[in-house]
Structure 1
Amino acid sequence: MDTLLEPTHASRADAPTTRLDALVIGAGIAGLYQLYRLREMGLNVRAYDTASGVGGTWYWNRYPGARFDSQVEVYQYWFSEDLYKAWKPSERFPAQPETERWLNFVADHLDLKKDIQFNSRIASAHYREKDGRWTVTTDAGETIDTQYVLACCGMLSAPLVDRFPGQSTFRGEIHHTGRWPKSGVDLKGKRVAVVGTGATGIQVIQTIAPDVAEMKIFVRTPQYVVPMKNPRYSQAEWEVWASQFHDLKKRVRSTFAGFHYDFENRPWAELTPGERTEVLEKFWKEGSLSMWLATFPEMFFDESVSAVVSDFVRGKMRERLRNDPKLCSLLIPSDYGFGTHRVPLENGYLEVYLQNNVEAIDCRSTPIERIVPEGIQTSDGKVHEVDVIILAVGFDAGSGALSRIDFRGRGGRSLKEQWKQEIRTAMGLQVHGYPNLFTTGAPLAPSAALCNMTTCLQQQVDWITDCIGYARTQGKQTIEATREFEDNWVKHHDDTAAATLVVKTDSWYMGSNVDGKPRRLLSYIGGVGNYNRQCDELAASGYPGLAMN
């Protein structure tokens, strides 16, 4: 659909203003689907993305070893059976290059790229109360006048790039995993430092270990890990999954985390210790996140259950570390329970630490003080000399991508300033005070962290699209979550979170990885199925809690 241009005031005197019905920020999983749905509704819609191509997370995160840990049979779009069957993945957990190709395949199949403006960062979005529309500007100075803004910015798309003092003084190469060069980085035979051992750091470490001359791994927070089982998929095997399309589509909407597995074992209290171990062994061997999200939900609430499950995983890790006291102390968590952090899948990660050319630096006892020209200086005064520094230090999750855009709502209120005080949303779909702004992957929804992302992002896109469609049929021009609705959701979210052990653990789930970030569980932990039910009920009741004018 062609962009409609009107010669109204723009940020550049010689540039016209682009006038749209809807503007989508982002061309990843959510952005592509949101563009498709709104275009199918007949809206004049355009997507904008900072990248030079589609993919979102799978465009930017092209570091060595990047792959997703949702099984490919459910990391899918569900609006088209033909689309599902037309793409044959190569393995259970495909790597980044294949995933990027898949998303380009989707975009080409749906002819979406003609309505996406690449290499364009949205700098600001200001609401106009006089006519209920938004004035949006790009970093290049383009102005867009739009009724709706659909923020599909991604939950992990605001990297913590400037993490340590002195980074600019380093004489070698320094790269953040979330902004890895498309041309790649030559690490062969070099001295490499990896800072961070979360899910991303683990993938990098296990992948580059065979190629580097030396590797120094800076470990602050140890992680429970589960070995990934990643078989190749033949055409015949994929056809078996394809034959289950409708069942899978229905299933993922109802489970706790949006996967095709769920907590379906007998309750912990009804099992003997031996029976509990049998369940844990079964899911450990399964080689997926089912060890976390399909064994015992009691581990999230009951400290005694958490202790048993955590000890089980610790034992598995100790075996692989050959019971080395130093490595076990450094790499096996002891101060939080299994599952209260993001659980990474891995393939040979722990064994890397047994290599002669690998050194693990304990950042709990000797934190990184600064980056110097030769490498990394720790608090004991030692300088670790390296050629390349890889920063796997994470993101300002959930809220960061939205906070980095100058959103101004009614009365000129600033979303960035509000979220410095308290991070709030109405079901992760809207924020009170910002009419006609809809969000996916935002705080206080399962999609912020605790979900198979394709499941949750598509559900949110569908709900948002239906809500806009409803308002249009009613002749309404603006949609805004009321303060009461947002207050009620925040209370429900917090009450649900408070019953779990997750809120007692410092992690990016709680915003603890960003200095000064308000502490609140970023993701709704009441379950995907429960969240979807509440969204469906809200829509069926005519969207009470949303003021439409």
Structure 2
Amino acid sequence: MSAPTQEASSTGDARDVPATADVVIIGAGFAGMYLLHRVRDLGLSAVTFEQAPDVGGTWYWNAYPGARCDVESLLYNYSWDSGLRSDYQYKWPERFSRQPVILEYARHVADRFDLRRDIHFDTRVNRATWDEASRHWIVETDRGDRVRCRFLLSAVGCLSDSQVPKIPGLKTFRGDWYHTGRWPHRDIDFSGRRVVQIGTGSSGVQAAPVIAETAGHLTVLQRTPQFCIPARNAPLTPELVDTSLERLKDMMIQMADRPTVRRLWESFATKKTFDDSPEERQAYFEQLWENAAAAFPFGYLDTMTDPAANEEAAEFVRGKIRSIVQDPATADKLLPSYPIGTKRQIIDTGYYETFNRPNVTLEDIRTDPIERITPDGVLLASGKLVEADIIVFATGFDAMTGPIFRLNIEGVDGRAIQDAWADGPQTYLGLAVHGFPNLFLLTGPGSPSVLSNVIQSAEQHVDWLIALLDHLRDNGIDRIEAEPDAQARWTTYCTDMANESLWPRADSWYMGANIPGKPRVFMPYIGGNALYQEEIDEVAEKNYEGFQLNGATNVAS
């Protein structure tokens, strides 16, 4: 059957979309909501388009079983309103929140700040075209809307373009199939069903243990094994919240007292791997295994730069996998070979233990690839048919660039952003693109985004961008564009910084390696939020160095 459709909007959108606005915002996830709030404070008119029926972005769409944030609840929330944070901090039920809880928080924010009245739901932007004569963007949607705006602000997210692999025969499958990134908002009954899960990235690692609890049989088709670190999730009691808040406060003070943090991997480590004896390393790795969660690869200063140091951490985790998984053959299939930390660091709850269940099977599709999907299941190259009533695609996203390309943005002289980025994304500060004036990308390529707490990154971008828009208005500037030399320098800088590390050595979605034909370019900025903040602040202090700013024309807005 075809992929499940989403429910109709219940937001009461009256489709009263104005023909003109100062700003069009695309996306009503955490970045888009905060951006809308700040744009309003600036006194600018704004129209926001959101393709989902509700706010929340990734936390609306990713409603699959086991979906959970890998950033602690006390950090994964807005910091810009102290009342909102203090009111909510004792309401988080767990250390790592589940998808429904985060979605409810997003809805609470939308209601508390009356954001919905400027958001048009169930609406996809089909095209955005720059009109040089009037210095406006013309934005068109699948609902027939056509809005002219001075500034186009993309908050579409980095992981919103879900990818179902082009496997022959999917249309012939007689059962149901779902993608974790477009999960229906209703319960799926796996009881007694034969389930095939394709993919073992973060969503697959989270989904498999939950599906296995009720499925008649779960077969996991794995192409690449993952390094998973225990989440050690726990209920957040008031006492634990108080303790955690003190810990986080102390950590912030410590980081503020340190010299400038020069790289992401130096964020909290204090020593190198081989500064410790083998016994000391083992003891320290045990501490990290118990407490560090997603920060495990950053426990030593050199894990992400020295292959020998990285192998020490990687082999420790492989040893844990061998000790957890009872069947040696299955354990061997689960042992990763790439440098630890160079793919998204996954934290799990019972993932490896899932393969000890009698109703779970692991198939290695790197050695026995998928041939096709049949009416009855998934046929492997060896001729083995994995029978299925339900197929779950946990196959990820066309990360970072995919959501932007779907907007069909055409800049100066009608040049498509796909053509401008044919050899990989190029931005200035991860925010602007030469040839696309008055367009800004939140948490895009060339920014910390996916290598950080993305809400923190979103706030960082929004605050800087609002200051910029205020500056432009105060100085009568109606056109701003990244200079080509500044963009080239920033892109080279980001690439060179990444090449100092081991990150580019893995075939990860950071590199675009999960999408056939996509340029193999490391897309995020790897320096971390602290260094990035210094750099964007310096640009602003130098009168927005690297941007070409032009005064207002005589064309009416």
The TM-score bracket by the shorter chain reads over 0.9
Q: Partners in 1 of 2:309 and 2:115 — Cα distance? A: 48
Q: Partners in 2 of 1:79 and 1:251 — Cα distance? A: 21
1:464 positional shift: 1.2
Q: Aligned pair in 2 of structure 1 residues 499, 256: CA closer, same or farther (>3 Å)?
A: closer
Task: Write out per-residue CA displacement over residues 297-323 of structure 1, whole angstroms, 9 at most, x where no aligned residue.
Answer: 31111111011111111111110013x
Look up the match of 1:360: 362
Paired letter, 1:177 = T
Query: Which secondary structure does the structure 2 equivalent of 1:298 belong to?
Result: coil
1:16 positional shift: 8.2
1:99 positional shift: 0.5
1:271 positional shift: 2.6
Indicate yes or no: 2:314 matched with 1:310: yes
Structure 1 length as normaliser, TM-score?
0.93
1:494 positional shift: 1.0
Task: Write out per-residue CA displacement over residues 221-259 of structure 1, whole angstroms, 9 at most, x where no aligned residue.
Answer: 000110111111123443555678877778899868989
Look up the match of 2:269: 264
Paired letter, 1:506 = D
Aligned length: 531
Look up the match of 2:25: 24
- 1:258–1:456 contact (8 Å) kept in structure 2: no
1:207 positional shift: 1.0
Q: Partners in 2 of 1:249 and 1:106 — Cα distance? A: 25
- 1:301–1:499 contact (8 Å) kept in structure 2: yes
Query: Which secondary structure does the structure 1 equivalent of 2:303 belong to?
Result: helix
Q: Aligned pair in 2 of structure 1 residues 240, 40: CA closer, same or farther (>3 Å)?
A: farther
Query: Which secondary structure does the structure 1 equivalent of 2:478 belong to?
Result: coil
Q: Partners in 2 of 1:135 and 1:156 — Cα distance? A: 25
Q: Partners in 2 of 1:534 and 1:474 — Cα distance? A: 23
Q: Partners in 2 of 1:469 and 1:516 — Cα distance? A: 41
1:119-518 equivalence runs, <5 A = 119-239=122-242, 262-286=267-291, 288-293=293-298, 295-322=299-326, 324-334=327-337, 336-447=338-449, 449-518=450-519
Q: Partners in 2 of 1:517 and 1:16 — Cα distance? A: 36
Please identify, of 261-270 and 144-153, the stretch whose mean Cα deviation from structure 2 is larger: 261-270
- 2:322–2:332 contact (8 Å) kept in structure 1: no
Q: Partners in 1 of 2:195 and 2:240 — Cα distance? A: 39
1:43-62 equivalence runs, <5 A = 43-62=44-63
Q: Partners in 2 of 1:407 and 1:155 — Cα distance? A: 16
Give the superposed CA RMSD: 2.1
- 1:444–1:523 contact (8 Å) kept in structure 2: yes
Q: Aligned pair in 2 of structure 1 residues 520, 43: CA closer, same or farther (>3 Å)?
A: same
Q: Partners in 1 of 2:137 and 2:58 — Cα distance? A: 26
Task: Write out per-residue CA displacement over residues 88-113 of structure 1, whole angstroms, 9 at most, x where no aligned residue.
Answer: 20111010000000111111111111
Paired letter, 1:368 = I
1:545 positional shift: 0.4
Look up the match of 1:9: none
Paired letter, 2:208 = I
1:176 positional shift: 0.5
Task: Write out per-residue CA displacement over residues 485-506 of structure 1, whole angstroms, 9 at most, x where no aligned residue.
Answer: 1000011011111121111111
Q: Aligned pair in 2 of structure 1 residues 208, 251: CA closer, same or farther (>3 Å)?
A: farther
Look up the match of 1:8: none
Please identify, of 194-203 and 179-188, the stretch whose mean Cα deviation from structure 2 is larger: 179-188
1:199 positional shift: 0.8
Query: Which secondary structure does the structure 2 equivalent of 1:467 belong to?
Result: helix
- 2:271–2:301 contact (8 Å) kept in structure 1: no
The share of aligned pairs that are identical, in percent, is 36
- 1:255–1:528 contact (8 Å) kept in structure 2: no
Q: Partners in 1 of 2:198 and 2:541 — Cα distance? A: 48
Gaps of 5+ in 1: 1-14
Q: Partners in 2 of 1:287 and 1:163 — Cα distance? A: 37
Look up the match of 1:4: none
Q: Partners in 2 of 1:256 and 1:48 — Cα distance? A: 37
Q: Partners in 1 of 2:274 and 2:219 — Cα distance? A: 44
Q: Partners in 2 of 1:35 and 1:298 — Cα distance? A: 40
Q: Partners in 2 of 1:312 and 1:198 — Cα distance? A: 20
Look up the match of 1:110: 113
Q: Partners in 2 of 1:128 and 1:486 — Cα distance? A: 22
Q: Partners in 2 of 1:465 and 1:247 — Cα distance? A: 30
Q: Partners in 2 of 1:462 and 1:417 — Cα distance? A: 30
Paired letter, 2:491 = V
